[in-house]
Amino acid sequence: MEKAASMETKPERKKNRKKMFFVCSILLWILAGCSIQTGSGNQKNMSEEDKSRETKDLLTEKDSQREGEFSEKEDFSELIYSHSMDLQYAKEFSVDYYEGGYGEIRIGEVGRYLLIPEGKPVPKKIEEDMVVIQQPIQNIYLAASGVMDMFLSIEGLKTIGFSSLKGESWHLEEARKAMEEGEILYAGKYSAPDYELLLLKECGLAIENTMIDHTPQVKEQLERLGIPVLVDYSSKEPEPLGRSEWVRLYGLLTGQKEAADQAFLEQAALFEEIRKEAEGNVTERKKETKKETVAFFYITLDGKVNMRKPSDYLAKMMEMAGGEYIYPDRGQEDRENQAETLQLEEFYALARDADILIYNSTVDGELHSMDELTTKSELMKKFQAVKEGNVFCTTDKLYQSSMKLGTILFDLHEIFQGREEQLTYFYRLTK
């Protein structure tokens, strides 16, 4: 034992002392919380103000620790730029590489992150708006469920420790199985995470979707607890493949850069192949027939119709696959919201003659028959596509399959070509 201890380097001893201090601080915090619940009457009656003060003291102590860690490190401004990630489609993130393996990640117009490679020091002087992410990253809290498929495509499931969805809400088999076996823990939904669990299990990163913008206090609390927060903006990408290219960012974060590049290139190649084939088919048919018109929708509980806007990635893919997407002309489109709710009568006037209807099962689940559809509204019986039996429904796993856009585009192209034997994410409603 003495020999082993003597072999421990000074930096390792410093790192281990810091880790032990952090663990002890957390345990003391938890024990303090237990004493409040089980101790004397005065402890039981501790005011919310006192509890808040106690938490603030702990957070202040942690902030001081982090500041102290930077005291002996180099200045960020001294890092030497090397090159940037060559992105093909993505517009909402960028990566600049620096010598030594450091990386600066920019997301949208607000997110800046400094990626610290394993074994490298954290710079002393960092710009105020920069969030530090240290590798290796473990026990990720994944609140952006749409990117789980990206992690699966690069064998990055082992880096995810927590989910904002319960097991039954996952339609990706590997994710659901990991939750059932306790490899991934439910840590509360994005707006109300289990902070104590995330701290106790040493969450290394929280990946949130843009819904976190509605609860900024959650993001602030996670960051104050020392958990960096990265907001996924893939849903804001103007091009469908821009969404999939975010796998390259997650490959970088998890040390699976080559696997991520390969996964993206495979999907991009399939996607472009189908798109070119669809363009060729449309050109050949142009002299004789028009494009198949298609409406994508679901009926809300109050009997209205929700439609995805033309800027939505699925609407764009329907156009790329050879269809003509039906949507009311509103002039300049609001890009912040990707959907619009219409009165059923307005939808009827818009899509009654549509060649194909596709029902979006995301909200109220899958439909399997025309009777289920017309039960939602008798007016649906008057639609041409309903009369002719040309109504399809999405499977429940469509929106979680962010790395299957090539297959989704193939499905849509098959539908517009009158073929449905090999569909994966869509199926025809029975009469």
- Is residue 231's pLDDT more than 60? yes
Q: Whole-angstrom Cα distance, residue 304 to residue 346?
A: 10
% of residues, the chain, pLDDT over 70: 79
Q: Which CATH architecture has domain 264-428?
A: 3-Layer(aba) Sandwich (3.40)
Q: Which has more pLDDT, 345 or 76?
A: 345
> What is the mean pLDDT of the segment spanning 211-229?
95
> What is the mean pLDDT of the segment spanning 148-173?
97
In the DSSP assignment, the letter for residue 123 is P
> What is the mean pLDDT of the segment spanning 211-220?
94
% of residues, the chain, pLDDT over 90: 72
The answer to whether 206 touches 191, Cβ cutoff 8 Å, is: no
Place of tokens 């490190």: 73
What pLDDT was estimated at residue 336?
64
List of long-range contacts for 408-413, beta carbons under 8 Å, 24+ apart: 408/314, 408/317, 409/240, 409/270, 409/271, 409/274, 409/275, 409/278, 409/317, 409/320, 409/321, 410/270, 410/274, 412/317, 412/318, 412/321, 412/322, 412/323, 413/274, 413/277, 413/278, 413/281, 413/321, 413/322
Q: How is domain 76-255 classified at the CATH fold level?
A: Rossmann fold (3.40.50)
Q: Whole-angstrom Cα distance, residue 5 to residue 150?
A: 41
The answer to whether 250 touches 150, Cβ cutoff 8 Å, is: yes
- DSSP three-state, residue 96: strand
What pLDDT was estimated at residue 196?
97
* End-to-end Cα distance, the chain: 75
> What is the mean pLDDT of the segment spanning 25-41?
41
User: Cα-atom radius of gyration of the chain, to the nearest Å?
Assistant: 26
CA 58 to chain centre: 31
Q: Whole-angstrom Cα distance, residue 199 to residue 14?
A: 21
Q: How confident is the model at residue 279 (pLDDT cuts 50, 70, 90)?
A: confident
Q: How confident is the model at residue 208 (pLDDT cuts 50, 70, 90)?
A: very high
**pLDDT tens-digit series, residues 358-370:** 999 988 899 999 9
What pLDDT was estimated at residue 40?
35
pTM score of the predicted model: 0.81
Residue type, 195: Y
The answer to whether 327 touches 386, Cβ cutoff 8 Å, is: no
Residue type, 366: E
**pLDDT tens-digit series, residues 376-422:** 999 999 999 999 999 999 999 999 999 999 999 999 999 999 999 99
What pLDDT was estimated at residue 285?
54
If residue 371 lies in a helix (H) or strand (E), which one and from where to where? helix 370-376
> What is the mean pLDDT of the segment spanning 130-136?
96
The answer to whether 411 touches 358, Cβ cutoff 8 Å, is: no
> What is the mean pLDDT of the segment spanning 120-147?
94
* Strand extents, DSSP E, 67-208: 81-84, 93-98, 103-107, 111-116, 130-134, 140-142, 160-163, 185-186, 205-208
Strand pairing category for 292-299 and 305-308: antiparallel
What pLDDT was estimated at residue 55?
44
What pLDDT was estimated at residue 399?
94
Closest C-alpha to 381, from 344, 327, 418: 344
> What is the mean pLDDT of the segment spanning 67-94?
78
What pLDDT was estimated at residue 290?
72
Helix axes 257-285, 405-416, angle to 10 degrees: 10
Helix axes 405-416, 313-320, angle to 10 degrees: 50
CB atoms within 10 A of CB 195: 18
- Is residue 152's pLDDT more than 70? yes
What pLDDT was estimated at residue 63?
46
Q: Whole-angstrom Cα distance, residue 15 to residue 9?
A: 10
**pLDDT tens-digit series, residues 54-74:** 444 545 554 444 444 433 445
Rounded to the nearest 10 degrees, how much is the dihedral formed by the CA atoms of 132, 336, 234, 76?
-20
